[in-house]
Structure 1
Amino acid sequence: MKYKYLKLLVILLGLLLTIMDIFIINVSIPSIQRDLHASHGEMQFMIAAYLIGFASLLITGGRLGDLYGRKKIYITGLLAFMVSSIACGLSAGAEQLVISRFVQGISAAMMAPQVLSMIQILFPDHQKRIKAMGWYGITIGIGTVLGQFLGGYFSSLTMIEEPWRLIFLMNIPICLPAVFFTLKLLDESKISVQQSFNAGGVLVLSGGLFCATYALTMSEHEGFNFKNGLLMIISAGILFIFIKDQKKRIHNKRSYLIDFELFRFTNFNLGIVAVSFFFIMLDSYFYILSLFFQNGLKISPLDAGEIIVFQGLGFILASVLSVKLILRYGKKALIAGLFFIIVVLVFQLFLFRMETGFPVFCLLLFLHGLGIGSVIPSLATIALSGMSEKLIGNASGVYNTFQQIAAIIGIVAVGSIFYYFLGEKPVVKHYNNAFSVALLINIFCLIFVMICIFKVPDHVLPETRHKK
């Protein structure tokens, strides 16, 4: 069993890289912009490029793993991530960095579905899988905290010129051992039936997802203008054509990219809806919290970063403790965790004010992290439970895609409502009102997640407290 957990550690290195590089660039934006003489528009593309590449190719990454081997595609993703990280670190200009970040996102899309797939295959037993998914949650927490911390640390170094380059080059000493131990320890797995790869489907699906993620991501910076609205309509048309084509290909027994048998699983459908609403809540919360702290409550960026670190610590702790609760109480523990987050948000509604002391902010963010960490790992467990090895890669890719797009929708939609209530010349009162409205939307999303979890069949997250 210890050997299995060593394999799990190797698998989770890919997840760590994926999560860490989402956050690591944010703190370094001012120094990158100064050293590369980049415009505000180029900096927006720099941040968006990773997410666009990541969200657009997740389903493709999952299908590649199914057909050609999850170990092989995972290693390919690691190597591509390392090379693109080196390209980011050595970028001579803003355009090169944007392209390198886009490739980095594509590389992450090759890794992420394999992580979830290999965990499901490595731990077929329900109890062992729940424990493994606890470590999955811990890795997300560590990646979030480490990304923000290392981004700030490396960018502030004075011993070398342009120290921000280290935030990308530090991926090399993680990727190299990850590749080595993947080759040595992990077993190959793929579907047994020989099928060709639907390259045309990749182009159509990636095009549709690219248009959607680009429009949503850029709407965060530009607003939802005519161009972004048109791209969303084009995306919807492309995806409609893609779905019709895929169903026809399956009916005619030709190669396909998405197996729609996935959507016959009640737990998968409920898990997809639950994770979508959860990440609409989560990513919009962090986006708005940073604005509220720094612009509304006039908390310095350094102090705001320290407060948010407490959220990550709570997340990590909950990922450890929640495993026993989920195994003992099943989905009741998950519903309790969601209710706990709602209670914490209600307290924030009344206590996040100018006169509130620093320890109270830290405590409420720590408690928020406890709630978040108790929920996230189990959402993936619910969605992927009962999937055959034939479907697991496809299911992982679809799950991750919904999660990423929901995160972007949350930032754009809830962020737009937040700005609407701020008005043109906001003062502290307006920030308080806008933040309160955003929290109420977050609470509504969590209630919707609770309803989904309540409808999940009991055998997906069974209670074991009565078993000896």
Structure 2
Amino acid sequence: MKSGKLKLFVILLGQLLTIMDIFIINVSVPSIQRDMRATHGEMQLMIASYLIGFSSFLITGGRLGDVYGRKKIFMGGTVLFMLSSVGCGLSSGVPQLMAGRFVQGLSAALMAPQVLSMIQILFPEHEERTRAMGWYGITIGLGTIAGQFLGGCFSSLTIMEEPWRLIFLINIPICILAALSSLKVLSESKAPVRQSFDLWGIAVLSAGLFCATYALTTSEHRGVHIQNTVLLIVAACVLLYFIKNQKSRLTNKRPYLVDFGLFRYQNFNLGLVSVSFFFIMLDSYFYILSLFFQDGLGMGSMMAGEIIVFQGLGFILASVFSAKLILKYGKDALIAASGFIVMILAAQLFLFRMKTDFYLFCLLLFFHGVGVGSIIPSLANIALSGISEKLMGNASGVFNTVQQMAAILGIVAVGSVFYYFLGERPSVDDYQKAFSIALLINIFCLFFVMICMIKVPEHILPRTKKRVPFQK
């Protein structure tokens, strides 16, 4: 049987692509806007289109894996990601680039749930799975840093016109490697009982999530106005209808998209609440931090980027060691890590000032990354532990969807509070006040995360002294 490490490496290539392409576009925006002669609004929609496609189809992607096979859907997502990347790289105008980014997000939604599902299935033992989720966390950190680094590197090249196109074309060799390796290394897995697929459910759920994601994502840039309010109301009505429809289908034993039996698992519910509050905190923090550094403290974009890279380095380092801490201390390690982030945010309340030394900024961001990297890999582990194989893709899709929606909600909600306290003509003191209030909201969110961790059953993250070889 193939090594568990090799299988893990292959599926994490898909996770790397998913994360890297969220961040790789950000640094390249000025170059793309100049060469495409795009407006600010068009660029905002181009960035948002990836997240809209990603968030709208995660549950569908998870369910497809359950019904038709996780290996098959993972490979299909990889190939579609490659083709959409080619489309983005060769696009001649903004509409084509928007469409390509949307399809990229959709294909990432096919891959991402299979990654979490296959980790849970490949590594059923707690010790093995915890170490595998540590590597999952490392991949997120690497994707974040690599995305920002490659985006800046390719956009600054002078050997060709429009070098930003390379940020999309670089995906081609990674996709080919992932697809061919999947074909040779991965074993197929799907729900043990043959099931039909709910096409009507896909249409309804995707429409509801699309409306919600589009409204929230565009509110981040345009603010809340009548169009977005109407879209959110429509999304709420569509999603309520979807829930009623799915419950009826389950009762009548007809094909369904979401099995609400998932919510009978206490750890799944705790995992969803934890990841919601954690990503409301995390994504709003990064969004506001960049604004505060550049507009409030007057840093250049290069200096701000260098400081934020230290957060990623701390994240990767923590992901390396987090598995050992979880195995030794169980959920107490996560509670301690949450408290550690609270302390770091509290320190930033008092120490992030114009006269603060550069190295102190770097140190506090590094420690923030250590705390975050100690928690993120275990959130999915908590939610998906003990879920039956037939529900695994469903659970992974729901988990990923909640995570993405929470991230967008955090940016919009906490960002709105931040802008409210800035006022129309903000001074440095106004930025300081708005940043401090945003950090207090982040700390409040972390207290909810800690409460959820306390309530996690001991058997979900048991302490262990026995070392199990990392092999499948």
Q: Is the 8 A contact 1:325 1:333 kept in 2?
A: yes
Q: Which residue of 1 aligns with 2:332?
A: 332
| 1:128/1:466 CA distance change after superposition, 3 Å | closer
- Structure-1 separation of matches of 2:201 and 2:69: 19
Q: Is the 8 A contact 2:50 2:105 kept in 1?
A: yes
Q: Is the 8 A contact 2:67 2:190 kept in 1?
A: yes
Q: Which residue of 2 aligns with 1:114?
A: 114
Q: Which residue of 2 aligns with 1:99?
A: 99
Code of the residue aligned with 2:207 in structure 1: it is G
- The number of aligned residues is 468
Q: Which residue of 2 aligns with 1:291?
A: 291
Calculate the aligned-residue CA RMSD, in Å.
1.1
Code of the residue aligned with 1:32 in structure 2: it is I
What SS does the corresponding residue of 1:409 show, helix, strand or coil? helix
Q: Which runs of 5+ in 2 are unaligned?
A: none
- Structure-2 separation of matches of 1:339 and 1:33: 42
Q: Displacement, 1:3?
A: 1.1
Code of the residue aligned with 1:236 in structure 2: it is A
- Structure-1 separation of matches of 2:382 and 2:429: 41
What SS does the corresponding residue of 1:43 show, helix, strand or coil? helix
- How high is the TM-score relative to the length of structure 2? 0.98
- Structure-1 separation of matches of 2:323 and 2:331: 12
CA offsets per residue over residues 263-300 of structure 1, 9 Å max, x none? Answer: 00000000000000000000000000000000001111
Q: Is the 8 A contact 2:127 2:467 kept in 1?
A: no
Q: Displacement, 1:464?
A: 2.1
- Structure-2 separation of matches of 1:196 and 1:463: 40
Q: Which residue of 2 aligns with 1:260?
A: 260
- Structure-2 separation of matches of 1:68 and 1:467: 35
- Structure-1 separation of matches of 2:412 and 2:2: 43
Percent identity between matched residues is 71
What SS does the corresponding residue of 2:194 show, helix, strand or coil? coil
Q: Displacement, 1:158?
A: 1.0
Code of the residue aligned with 1:319 in structure 2: it is S
Instruction: Give 1:67-466 correspondences, 5 Å limit.
Output: 67-464=67-464
Q: Find runs of 4+ consecutive structure 1 residues off by over 6 angstroms.
A: none
- Structure-2 separation of matches of 1:376 and 1:83: 30
Q: Which residue of 2 aligns with 1:37?
A: 37
Q: Is the 8 A contact 1:20 1:147 kept in 2?
A: yes
Code of the residue aligned with 2:370 in structure 1: it is L
- How high is the TM-score relative to the length of structure 1? 0.99
CA offsets per residue over residues 233-286 of structure 1, 9 Å max, x none? Answer: 100100010000000000100000000010000000000000000000000000
Q: Displacement, 1:196?
A: 1.1
Q: Is the 8 A contact 1:329 1:465 kept in 2?
A: no
Q: Displacement, 1:41?
A: 1.1
| 1:2/1:363 CA distance change after superposition, 3 Å | farther
What SS does the corresponding residue of 2:3 show, helix, strand or coil? helix
- Structure-2 separation of matches of 1:122 and 1:428: 52
Q: Is the 8 A contact 1:382 1:460 kept in 2?
A: yes
- Structure-2 separation of matches of 1:364 and 1:451: 25
- Structure-1 separation of matches of 2:94 and 2:459: 51
Q: Displacement, 1:349?
A: 0.6
Q: Which runs of 5+ in 1 are unaligned?
A: none
| 1:322/1:467 CA distance change after superposition, 3 Å | closer
What SS does the corresponding residue of 1:120 show, helix, strand or coil? helix
- Structure-2 separation of matches of 1:320 and 1:70: 27
Q: Displacement, 1:441?
A: 0.2
- Structure-2 separation of matches of 1:175 and 1:349: 42
Q: Displacement, 1:192?
A: 1.7
- Structure-2 separation of matches of 1:467 and 1:2: 21
CA offsets per residue over residues 85-113 of structure 1, 9 Å max, x none? Answer: 00000010011000000000000000000
